[in-house]
Structure 1
Amino acid sequence: MTQEAAEQPPLRLVIDDSARDPSSKIWYALPAGYLNVPIDALDPEPGSEQETYLQQAMELVLGLAPEDQRDRYTGALRDVRFMAARMRSEGVIACSLGMHYADNGTSAMSVFTVALKDIDWAPAKITAVRAVALRESTENVELLTLPGGRPASISDTLITTPDLAGVPGQDLYQCTLYIPAPSGTQLGVLTLSSTAVGSRKHYRDMMAGIAHTVSFHDPMPEIERAARGDGPDGTGGIAGDIASDFG
C-alpha cells in the first residue's frame, strides 16, 4: 500500500432506515449529497395519524411565514402534496434531492426517483431493451452488464419544460436506468432530473455507478459482515465495491 493510499480516509456508508424495512423490494446506494424525501409522509391516507402530523407541520410553516407571503406558501405546500401524490400514482416509491457543485463552480440540484413496476414476464435482456425503446425521446442508449451478469439499460435526454405560472421554461436533463428484477416480473426504473445540463456527463456516469449497486434482495447481512471485516479476505469488500462504482 502506498503512503497516499494509506492516508485516504475510509469510505463511510450511511444506511437509511428504509434499507432495514422488511417490506423493501429494491436496494441501492447513492453518493453523498442526497437527502431522502418522505413521499408517504407528504401524501398520507385521508384521516390517518400521518395526515394529522402533516397538517400540523403545514400550519407551523404557514405560521412562521410573513403575512404577505402566506398565500404563496400555501400554494407551494399544496403543489408539493400534489407532486407527491402524482409520483406515487406513477409507481414512485422513493425520492431524493441532491445538491452538488457543477463544473462551473455553482451549486446544482438534482431529483432522483425510484419506481418499481409490475410487468409481464420476459427474459431480462429483452425487458431492458424494450423498456428503453418505449421512451418517447430516448437518446444515448446503452446496455449495461451489472454484477452477476444481470442486464440493464441506460439512456439520457434533454427536454424543455413549458412555461408555468410566469416561470419561463428551461432545459432539463434526464437520465434513466431500467433494471429488470431476477423474477422477470418487475422492472426498476431509476431516474435523475436536473437543470444543470452542463453536468450531464457527470450525472450519467453517476447513474451508471448507481446501477451497479442495485439489488432486489436484501444486501444488509452482507454489508454488516463487511463492516465487521468478515469478508472472504478479512476486509470489507462491499465498501470497496461501492467506492469503485462511484469513482
Structure 2
Amino acid sequence: MNTRLGVANTDTGPRPQFWYGLPRGYLELDLNPTEEGVAELARQISALPEEARDRADETFRLYAMTVLLLQKQPVAVCALGMHPDGNGKASLSVLTISAFPSGGVNPKRVLAGMVGGHAGGNASNGMQPIELPVGIGFLTEQVRRTVAPGVPPEGQEGPLEGSVWQGTVAVPEPRTSSIITVQLVTSSVELADDYRSVLLGTARTLTFTDPTAEADQGTGPVTPGSAAEAMQSDFG
C-alpha cells in the first residue's frame, strides 16, 4: 500500500469528505488540471525525441479524453494501474472512487434493499454484504462486454469489443446521505481473483475520519483492524 494518504472532496452537496489509500502500482490522475499544467505537459511532449514523441502524444490524448469523461461523472478519484501479469506483459486497470447522493434517504437502507432484491445475493449476481473498518459495505462484480481500444478486424462492422472484469464496493455514508463507491475495472479477466483482493484492500482503507489526526496526537501503536492499520497493509 502506498504510504501517501488521499483526501477527497466531491462536488455534490452536502459534500462527503473521505480519506483513502492507493495500492502499489497505481498512479492517480489529476481530474482538474490547470490550463498552465496542460500546456506545460504538451510542451514537454513536443520536446521529446521523435521515437518517443508519438507514444507520449497518444498517452496525453488518452489522458485528456479520460479527464473530460470523468469530469461529467461524480468521480472524486481516478488512478491507473499497471502490473506484471505473469506472462511477461503488463496488466492494466482503472480504479475510481465516487460519491453518489441518495436523495436524503438512508443510504444503508437503499443498499440493503438492493441486496434483498436478489434472492441469495452474492458478488457475481447481486450484492454481497462485507465488513469494513467503516462499517458495512456491499460488493458486486461482473464480467461484461465493452468497447476496447484498437482497430476492428477488416470486414467487421462497429468498434472492437472486449471483455472486462468490473468489481464495485458500495459504502453508505449516513452523515451526508451519500453512497461512496470504490470500483476497479480491468481487461485481464483471468486475474479477477487478484484484482478482487486489490479492490477489497482499497475499500478497507476508506475512512470518514482523518487518519493522520490520531498519528499527530501520538496515541501510540495502530489499533488492529482499524482503518489506520489497513492504510499500512501491503496487498500488492
What range is the shorter-chain TM-score in? 0.7 to 0.9
Per-residue deviation, 1:155: 0.7
Q: Give yes or no for the alignment of 1:93 onto 2:76.
A: yes
Q: Is the 8 A contact 2:80 2:93 kept in 1?
A: yes
Preserved contact between residue 103 and residue 177 of structure 2 (Cα < 8 Å) = yes
Q: Name whichever structure is richer in strand by fraction.
A: 2
User: Structure 1 CA distance, aligned partners of 2:208 and 2:67?
Assistant: 24
Could you say which residue in structure 2 is the equivalent of 1:151? 136
Aligned mate of 2:48, from 49, 53, 64: 64
- Please point out which of 185, 198, 203 is paired with 2:177: 185
Q: CA deviation at 1:211?
A: 1.9
Structure 1 window deviating more from structure 2 (102-111 vs 188-197): it is 102-111
Contact 1:174 1:194 in 2 (8 A): yes
Output the aligned Cα RMSD.
3.5
Q: What are the Cα deviations for residues 56-104 of structure 1, in whole angstroms up to 9, with x where unaligned? A: 321331342639x75x865653442232021121111111112223355
What CA distance in whole angstroms lies between the structure 2 residues aligned with 1:166 and 1:156?
A: 28
Check if 1:15 corresponds to 2:4. Answer: yes
Contact 1:213/1:245, CA 8 A, preserved across alignment: no
Q: For 2:71, what is the secondary structure of its paired residue?
A: helix
SS in 1 for 2:19: coil
Opposite residue 161 of structure 1, the aligned amino acid is T
Contact 2:142–2:166 under 8 Å retained in 1: yes
Segments of 5+ residues of structure 1 without an aligned counterpart are 1-11, 42-49
Give the Å deviation of 1:113. 0.7
1:99–1:224 Cα change, 3 Å: farther
Q: Which runs of 5+ in 2 are unaligned?
A: 10-14, 119-123, 153-159
On the 8 A contact 2:114/2:127 being kept in 1, the answer is: no
Q: Which residue in the other structure is 1:216 paired with?
A: 208
Aligned residue pairs total: 216
TM-score (norm 1): 0.71
| Deviation of the 1:36 alpha carbon | 1.4
Change in 2 beyond 3 A, CA 1:245/1:64: closer
Q: Deviations over 1:171-206 (max 9, x none)?
A: 111111111113151111111111111110111122
How far is 1:245 from its partner? 8.3
Contact 1:212 1:245 in 2 (8 A): no
Amino acid at match of 2:41: A
Native 8 Å contact 1:19 1:220 kept in 2: no
Is the contact between residue 122 and residue 185 of structure 1 (CA under 8 Å) also seen in structure 2? Answer: yes
1:83 is paired with a residue whose SS is helix
2:136 aligns to what SS in structure 1?
strand
For residue 141 of structure 1, report the CA deviation from its aligned partner. Answer: 2.6
